[in-house]
Amino acid sequence: MVDIARALNREPIFPTKYFGMELGAQTQIDEKNDRFIVNGSHDEAKLQDILDGYIKKFVLCSKCENPETTLTVKRDDIIECCKACGHKGLIRSMAHSLSNFIVRQHKNKKIADKGAKGKKGEKEQKSTTKDIYAGEGTEDIAKAKVNGKAAKDEWEGEEWAESDSEDEDALASKLSLLEMKPSTMSSEQKGEAFELYLQQLIDDGSLPEMMKAKEKIMQIVLKAEYYGLKQKACFGLFEKLMPNGEFVPAMKKYRPLFVFINRNMDETPDLKAMKYCISALEVFVNEHNLTEKIAIFLKIMYDQDILDEEAIIEWGDSKPSKKYISKELSAKLKETSRKLIDWLKTAESESEEESDDDDIEMTDKKVAGIHEVEEEKAPAPAAAVEEESDDGEDVDIEDI
Q: What is the pLDDT of residue 116?
A: 61
- Is residue 212 located within the same domain as residue 296? yes
Q: Specify the 3-state DSSP secondary structure of 396.
A: strand
> Cα–Cα distance between 243 and 241 in angstroms, integer?
6
Residue 20 reports pLDDT greater than 90:
no
Same domain, 99 and 243: no
In angstroms, the CA 135 to CA 165 distance is 22
Measured over the CA atoms of residue 225, residue 287, residue 176 and residue 204, the dihedral's sign is positive
pLDDT of residue 332: 95
Strands 27-30 and 35-38: antiparallel
Of 346, 367, 383, which closes a domain? 346
Mean pLDDT across the stretch 194-202? 90
Kindly report, residue by residue over 224-251, the tens digit of the pLDDT. 998 899 999 999 999 999 999 999 999 9
* Cα of 270 vs its chain's centroid, Å: 19
On whether both 111 and 235 belong to a single domain, the answer is no
Domain, as residue range, for 285: 178-346
Query: Total domain count for the chain?
Result: 2
> CA–CA separation, 400 vs 98, rounded Å?
100
**Residue 102 and residue 185 share a domain:** no
DSSP string, 335-352: HHTHHHHHHHHHHHHHHH
HSE, side-chain direction, 13 A CA sphere, residue 19: 27
Are residues 199 and 316 both part of a single domain? yes
For position 42, which CATH number holds?
3.30.30.170
291-318: burial string, b at 16+ Cβ within 10 Å, e else: eebbbebbbbbbeeebbbbebbbebbee
Are 199 and 306 members of one domain? yes
pLDDT in tens, 128-165: 333 433 333 333 333 343 444 433 332 232 222 333 44
CATH code of residue 224: 1.25.40.180
Say whether both 185 and 321 belong to one domain.
Answer: yes
Asked whether residue 3 carries a pLDDT value surpassing 60, the answer given is yes
DSSP class per residue in 47-99: HHHHHHHHHHHHTS-TTT--S-EEEEEETTEEEEEETTT--EEE-TTTTSHHH
Do 183 and 111 have their domain in common? no
Give the DSSP letter string of 97-155.
HHHHHHHHHHHHHHHHHHHH--SSSS-EEEE--S-TT--TT---EEEEEETTEEPPEEE
Instruction: Give me the pLDDT at residue 118, please.
Output: 52
Last residue of a domain, one of 322, 346, 370: 346
Residues 6+ away with beta carbon under 8 Å from 97: 21
In a domain, 182, yes or no: yes
CA–CA dist 353, 348 (Å, integer): 9
Other CB atoms within 10 A of residue 240 CB: 19
| Rounded-to-integer distance, Cα 326 and Cα 329, Å | 5
Distance CA 131, CA 108 (A): 16
25-39, 65-79, 166-180, 342-356, range with the lowest pLDDT: 166-180
- Which phi and psi (to 5°) does residue 145 adopt? -80, 115
Q: What is the pTM of this model?
A: 0.49
Q: Are residues 224 and 330 in the same domain?
A: yes
Same domain, 224 and 302: yes
The answer to whether residue 371 sits within a structural domain is no
